[in-house]
Amino acid sequence: VQASDPAVLEALSSEGPITVFAPTDAAFTALLETLGVDVDTALTQTDLLTQVLLYHVVEGELSGEDIAGETELTTLGGEAIVVTTDGGSVVLNGTVNVTTADIAASNGVVHVIDAVLIPPSVAALLGL
């Protein structure tokens, strides 16, 4: 996070409330392997890293109970995430699963996810 634009740190440390969809370390490792880059190379791509990180943050505190059916959320990066619930599970953009929901934070709530969300604009640049 420190390698990204200061706007990311500002957003994450704001008074909020915010909702953060936080990928696991394993999710970041898997993405780097898919892209064929190492951590040091990824950290030099400040603009892309900032877009990706802001795509994981939404204004407002949304608990798992606040999300029902299919909802489109606009991220702090300005692009939308489609959130779908089905039988108690929460899925983002059709493929990313919330593995742990509703972790309280001082300025909102955190939901742990099993993959890194890639904004459509970044996916197009990376050929994903």
The SS3 of residue 44 is coil
In this structure, the chain runs to a length of 128
CATH of the domain at 59: 2.30.180.10
- Please give the tally of structural domains in the chain: 1
Give the pLDDT confidence score for residue 122 in this predicted structure.
Answer: 86
Q: What are phi and psi of 79, to 5 degrees?
A: -110, 155
* The predicted structure's pLDDT at residue 127: 66
Tell me how far apart the alpha carbons of residues 82 and 74 are, in angstroms, rounded to a whole number.
Answer: 9
Quote the CA–CA distance of 106 and 3 in Å, as a whole number. Answer: 23
Distances (CA, A) of 11 to 6, 68, 72: 9, 26, 20
Query: Is residue 1 included in any domain, yes or no?
Result: no
Q: Print the domain residue range for 39.
A: 6-126
pLDDT profile of the chain (128 residues), mean per 10: 59 81 93 84 80 93 87 95 90 96 92 95 76
Token representation of residue 1: 């996070």
pLDDT of residue 123: 81
pTM, 2 dp: 0.86
What was the pLDDT predicted at 117? 96
